[in-house]
Amino acid sequence: MKAKRSSDKSLGMNKQITRRDFINSSLIGTGGALLAASAPISFLSSCAEEQIKKDVWTGYGAVGDYANASGNTKAVMEAAHKIRDGVYSGQKPATKKMDTVYDTIIVGGGMSGLGAAHYFKKNASANQKCLLLENHPIFGGEAKRNEFLVDGHRLMGPQGSNDFGVPREGSGSFTDKLFEELKIPREFAYQEWDSGLKPLNFGLDNYAHMAGVAESKVDIGYFFKAGQGVDKNQWFNNMWRDDLEDSPYSAAQREEFLNWRYHRSDRRGLQFAQLLDSMTYKDYLEKELGFSSKITEYIDPVIGLINGAGADAVSAFAASQIGMPATGRSRGKNASLPLSFPGGNTAFARYFVKDIIPEAIQGQHSFEDITNQSVNFAALDKAENQVQMKMSATVISVQHDGTPDAAENVTVVFEQGGTLYEVKARSVVMASGGWVNKHIVKDLPQDIKEAYAEFTYAPALVANVALTNWQFMYKQGITAAQWFGDGFGFSCNIRKSMVIGDYAPPLHPDKPTVLTFYMGAHTSGLPLAQQNMNARMKVFGTTFFDYEKQLRQQLSEQFGQHGFNAEKDIAGITLNRWGHARITQGPGFYFGKDGKPSPRTVVEKGFGRIIIGHSELNGHQNWSGGVSQGYKAAEKALAIV
């Protein structure tokens, strides 16, 4: 079988590529040892071959607008490490000075930066100009996608940022206004399931099947290895839907699990929130509510992924923000399914860019064209744009021209294409993450430095596995899987995807699809910062080959009995590594501790003409929170210019 070549030149490929080529492209891209093997490199497409030669660490980037921007690529990581390691410190480097003095420069093109740019475009006067600098090859931050072509079918999966809810029309909420202004639809068409096949329940995003979200609404298989309460490797389907009746747990264990999962608390309000923020989720469950450590161990992978560290290090209030059980916001069996666009929250980023620079995405301002048409990268950086966007532009220095309270301008230095540029602005919005800001804002006040020192970040790894078919899951009667102990992450799933114009992937076990894995790599039992460091070493210190090997072996172990064959069933694997994916909210992050304000409130105030507005300041990071921070920052920036 062959994946047909698309006529869309934006896919960057000029000849046919077989299913085996996808597999070999990722294998060849894993390390020098394999490059010496007799691999059929002559069969690779020119795009894949060149990509792998340039970057064997990142691996295969799939196709389309995002082919060279899978997570933190090697190039992005190396540029960031130069800043961290002080390569540009000391003597001021020679720069090429830009003539334009911008009213606002926005550092970062993720959801916060795009939100700031959108607010500027809406509210600035016609003669005011803005420059957005983004260090990745394409805008969106973690809201990007992977695209595959398998057997003639175009498939998408999220690189990171995922999940949204539709705001009630006319509610006047922040998201309602955004949906209205950007013309984002509120109703969607989905893939249809063949009535001749056995019924299956699919998630619409990549979180619903996780514990504490909406697991009763999805057909999930739980894989237990021998010694994990069973004598041999065994699957249990939909344990929670039947209140754990068909599970390896004892009657006493089942009772405790159910008490935790459906625990109701009447406590609400600020006082309860502050109580939760004063302790870890583990202490809240075990010391406050009296649950055993078995409960904490069970939920740890979800907390470790979404909150970035184990339940023994994360604030119980942070757990409440993602709806974890027993915190007063628990979801029960009636929980609704969260939604996802085909490429995760990529759609929001593309809507913003299309609104800010209409020529930047080809076609009309429609759901279909914004999703399916190519990015016109040349249009982003036109000098005549009111909001000009530069990609692959890494900011290395931001500093007031004089004292913050008296300066009229801020000087920004950035690197692009091997050249250092110097540009001035009357205000700067730092929409980049705190782990970057604390290094590049050179005149940062001491109180903000100290606050940033309390910000800790965890990595995440998202793998999209393009499959030629998924009969092995259909035979088990599931669309999602979860496992326990060691392994690549702890769960994976196939979504029921939106159908958007020409984007109409099949939904049939004999047809191609994308199987998505989210992995957090936390290590419970260690201090918060140490958990983050260990996780980052694991995510970035493991080769693409080792991860691919883990995935193939794991799927073979779990589904070999149902006929899974990695050689035939895997069309391609793309890894998206995010070094600072999550702000990890230890006790006190939201409301402060020891009588001191929370570090996020200290950072948010900014100073002088430098305004700080990134998603971590919202506490729990999500697309709308990031945008709202960008809006607030841009409003402050325009007020001082």
Q: Where are the beta strands (DSSP E) in 96-206?
A: 96-102, 104-107, 130-133, 145-150, 153-158
Query: Residue 621 — pLDDT band, cuts 50, 70, 90?
Result: confident
pLDDT in tens, 64-101: 999 888 888 777 877 777 877 777 776 577 789 999 99
What is the distance between the alpha carbons of residues 324 and 72, in angstroms, rounded to a whole number? 29
pLDDT in tens, 537-596: 888 888 888 899 999 999 999 999 999 999 999 999 999 999 888 899 999 999 998 889
Higher per-residue pLDDT: 23 or 471: 471
Share of the chain above pLDDT 70, in %: 90
For residue 151, what pLDDT is reported?
A: 95
Across the chain, mean pLDDT equals 88
Q: Mind giving me the DSSP string for 328-353?
A: S----TTPPPPB--TTTTHHHHHHHH
**Token reading at 202:** 């699919």
User: What 3-state class would DSSP assign to 5?
Assistant: coil
Summarize the confidence of residues 259-274 as an average pLDDT. Answer: 89
**DSSP H stretches of helix in 358-491:** 367-372, 377-380, 434-440, 446-452, 471-476
What is the distance between the alpha carbons of residues 175 and 173, in angstroms, rounded to a whole number? 5
For residue 331, what pLDDT is reported?
A: 67
For residue 540, what pLDDT is reported?
A: 87
pLDDT(265) > 60: yes
For residue 32, what pLDDT is reported?
A: 23
N- to C-terminal Cα separation, the chain? 60
The H-or-E segment that residue 576 falls in is strand 570-583
User: Nearest Cα to 638, choosing from 103, 270, 190, 13?
Assistant: 103
Q: Which residue has the tokens 């929170």?
A: 625
For residue 56, what pLDDT is reported?
A: 63
Q: Which residue has the tokens 């691919």?
A: 548
**Token reading at 308:** 């970035």
Alpha-carbon torsion 162, 167, 169, 172, what sign?
Answer: negative
pLDDT(103) > 80: yes
Number of separate helices (H) and strands (E) present in the chain? 22, 20
DSSP code at position 191: P
pLDDT in tens, 431-484: 999 999 999 999 999 999 999 999 999 999 999 999 999 999 999 999 999 999
480-483 and 457-467 beta bridge pairing: unpaired
β-bridge partners, 130: 104, 387
pLDDT(30) > 50: no
Dihedral, CA atoms, 557, 558, 564, 569, nearest 10 degrees?
-100
The H-or-E segment that residue 222 falls in is strand 220-224
Summarize the confidence of residues 107-125 as an average pLDDT. Answer: 98
**DSSP H stretches of helix in 59-110:** 74-84
User: What 3-state class would DSSP assign to 568?
Assistant: helix
**Token reading at 198:** 């056995």
User: What 3-state class would DSSP assign to 486?
Assistant: coil
For residue 2, what pLDDT is reported?
A: 33
Summarize the confidence of residues 621-637 as an average pLDDT. Answer: 95
pLDDT in tens, 136-154: 999 999 999 999 999 999 9
Summarize the confidence of residues 256-261 as an average pLDDT. Answer: 95
Other beta carbons within 10 Å of 606: 21
Share of the chain above pLDDT 90, in %: 77
pLDDT(257) > 50: yes
What is the distance between the alpha carbons of residues 43 and 21, in angstroms, rounded to a whole number? 6
For residue 89, what pLDDT is reported?
A: 74
Query: Residue 31 — pLDDT band, cuts 50, 70, 90?
Result: very low
pLDDT(230) > 80: yes
What is the distance between the alpha carbons of residues 363 and 22, in angstroms, rounded to a whole number? 30
What is the distance between the alpha carbons of residues 110 and 113, in angstroms, rounded to a whole number? 5
Identity of the amino acid at 401: D
For residue 6, what pLDDT is reported?
A: 32
